Structure 1
Amino acid sequence: MSISRITSAASAAILSSVLASTAPAADVNIAVVGPMTGSTAALGVQMRDGATAAVDALNASGLLPGIKVILSVADDACDPKQAVAVANRLTMDQPKLVVGHFCSSSSIPASDVYAEAKLIQISPGSTNPQLTERGLRTVFRICGRDDQQGVVAAEYILRHYRHKKIAVLDDKSTAGKGIADVVASRLQEAGEKAIRQSYVAGEKDYTALVSRMKKDGIQIAYIGGYYNEIGLIVRQAAEAGAGLTVMANDPLMTSDFSAIAGEAANGTLFTFMPDPTKNAQAADAVARLKSSNMSAGGYTLYAYAAVQAWADAVKRAGTFDGPQVAAALRSQPIQTVIGPVRFDTKGDNAAPGFVVYRWNNNIVEAIE
Structure 2
Amino acid sequence: MKKQLLTGAVFAASLMFASQAFAEIKIGVAGPLTGPNAAFGAQLQKGAEQAVADINAAGGVNGEMLSIVLGDDVSDPKQGVSVANKFVGEGVQYVVGHFNSGVSIPASEVYAENGIFQITPASTNPNFTERGLWNTFRTCGRDDQQGAVAGKYIADNYKDTPVAVIHDKTPYGQGLADETKKAMNGLGVTEAVYEGINIGDKDFSALISKLKAANVGIIYYGGLHTEAGLIVRQAADQGLKAVLMSGDGITSDEFASIGGPAVEGTLMTFPPDPRTNADAAPVVEKFRAAGFEPEAYTLYSYAAVQVIVEGIKAAGENDPQKVAEALKGGTQYTTVIGQLGFDEKGDITRPDYTMYVWKKNDAGKITYTQMQ
* TM-score normalised according to structure 1 size: 0.92
Alignment match of 1:239 (pick from 229, 237, 245): 237
Given that 2:59 and 2:65 are in contact with CA atoms closer than 8 Å, whether structure 1 keeps it comes out as: no
Secondary structure of the 2:25 match is strand
Given that 2:328 and 2:346 are in contact with CA atoms closer than 8 Å, whether structure 1 keeps it comes out as: yes
What letter matches 1:211 in structure 2? S
**Structure with bigger gyration radius:** 2
Between 254-263 and 275-284, the greater mean CA deviation after superposition: 275-284
Corresponding position of 2:185 = 188
Change (3 A) 1:349 1:23: closer
Between 62-71 and 311-320, the greater mean CA deviation after superposition: 62-71
How far did residue 26 of structure 1 move? 2.4
More RCO (CA 8 Å, sep 6+): 1
Asked if 1:207 is matched to 2:208, the reply is: no
Corresponding position of 2:54 = 57
Between 228-237 and 329-338, the greater mean CA deviation after superposition: 329-338
Given that 2:24 and 2:66 are in contact with CA atoms closer than 8 Å, whether structure 1 keeps it comes out as: yes
Given that 2:27 and 2:92 are in contact with CA atoms closer than 8 Å, whether structure 1 keeps it comes out as: yes
Secondary structure of the 2:108 match is helix
How far did residue 99 of structure 1 move? 0.1
Distance 1:315 1:193 in 2: 49
Given that 2:328 and 2:343 are in contact with CA atoms closer than 8 Å, whether structure 1 keeps it comes out as: yes
How far did residue 41 of structure 1 move? 1.2
How far did residue 138 of structure 1 move? 1.4
Asked if 1:106 is matched to 2:112, the reply is: no
Corresponding position of 1:34 = 31
Given that 2:60 and 2:66 are in contact with CA atoms closer than 8 Å, whether structure 1 keeps it comes out as: no
What letter matches 2:93 in structure 1? K
Secondary structure of the 1:156 match is helix
Given that 1:101 and 1:126 are in contact with CA atoms closer than 8 Å, whether structure 2 keeps it comes out as: yes
Given that 1:143 and 1:352 are in contact with CA atoms closer than 8 Å, whether structure 2 keeps it comes out as: no
How far did residue 292 of structure 1 move? 1.1
Distance 1:325 1:201 in 2: 37
What letter matches 1:364 in structure 2? Y
How far did residue 235 of structure 1 move? 0.4
Post-superposition CA distance 1:59-81 (Å, at most 9, x none): 01125253221112111011111
Alignment match of 1:289 (pick from 275, 284, 287): 287
Corresponding position of 2:68 = 71
What letter matches 2:368 in structure 1? V
Alignment match of 2:94 (pick from 89, 92, 97): 97
Post-superposition CA distance 1:189-236 (Å, at most 9, x none): 222120211111101111111121112110001000010000000000
Distance 2:181 2:281 in 1: 38
Corresponding position of 1:323 = 321
Distance 1:257 1:347 in 2: 30
Secondary structure of the 1:230 match is helix
Distance 2:282 2:327 in 1: 24
Change (3 A) 1:23 1:147: closer
Given that 1:276 and 1:337 are in contact with CA atoms closer than 8 Å, whether structure 2 keeps it comes out as: yes
Corresponding position of 2:6 = none
Between 207-216 and 49-58, the greater mean CA deviation after superposition: 207-216
Corresponding position of 2:162 = 165
Corresponding position of 1:304 = 302
Q: CA RMSD in A?
A: 1.6
Post-superposition CA distance 1:7-58 (Å, at most 9, x none): xxxxxxxxxx98xx99863222111100111111111111111001100001
Corresponding position of 1:336 = 335
Given that 1:23 and 1:66 are in contact with CA atoms closer than 8 Å, whether structure 2 keeps it comes out as: no
* Gap runs ≥5 in structure 2: 1-15, 361-365
Given that 1:43 and 1:251 are in contact with CA atoms closer than 8 Å, whether structure 2 keeps it comes out as: no
Corresponding position of 2:215 = 217
Given that 2:267 and 2:355 are in contact with CA atoms closer than 8 Å, whether structure 1 keeps it comes out as: yes
Corresponding position of 2:124 = 127
Q: Aligned residue pairs: how many?
A: 350
Distance 1:22 1:203 in 2: 52
Distance 2:140 2:62 in 1: 29
Change (3 A) 1:254 1:145: same
Given that 1:270 and 1:358 are in contact with CA atoms closer than 8 Å, whether structure 2 keeps it comes out as: yes
Secondary structure of the 1:52 match is helix
Corresponding position of 2:352 = 353
Distance 1:216 1:146 in 2: 27
Distance 2:291 2:326 in 1: 34
Post-superposition CA distance 1:330-362 (Å, at most 9, x none): 221111000111110000011251011111122
Secondary structure of the 1:296 match is coil
What letter matches 2:314 in structure 1? R
* TM-score normalised according to structure 2 size: 0.91
Between 179-188 and 141-150, the greater mean CA deviation after superposition: 179-188
Secondary structure of the 2:328 match is helix
Given that 1:140 and 1:348 are in contact with CA atoms closer than 8 Å, whether structure 2 keeps it comes out as: yes
What letter matches 1:254 in structure 2? S
Change (3 A) 1:239 1:317: same
Given that 2:163 and 2:217 are in contact with CA atoms closer than 8 Å, whether structure 1 keeps it comes out as: yes
* Gap runs ≥5 in structure 1: 1-16
Given that 2:155 and 2:188 are in contact with CA atoms closer than 8 Å, whether structure 1 keeps it comes out as: no
How far did residue 363 of structure 1 move? 2.2
Given that 1:358 and 1:367 are in contact with CA atoms closer than 8 Å, whether structure 2 keeps it comes out as: yes
What letter matches 1:262 in structure 2? G
Corresponding position of 1:364 = 368
Between 151-160 and 311-320, the greater mean CA deviation after superposition: 311-320
Distance 1:226 1:321 in 2: 35
How far did residue 96 of structure 1 move? 2.0
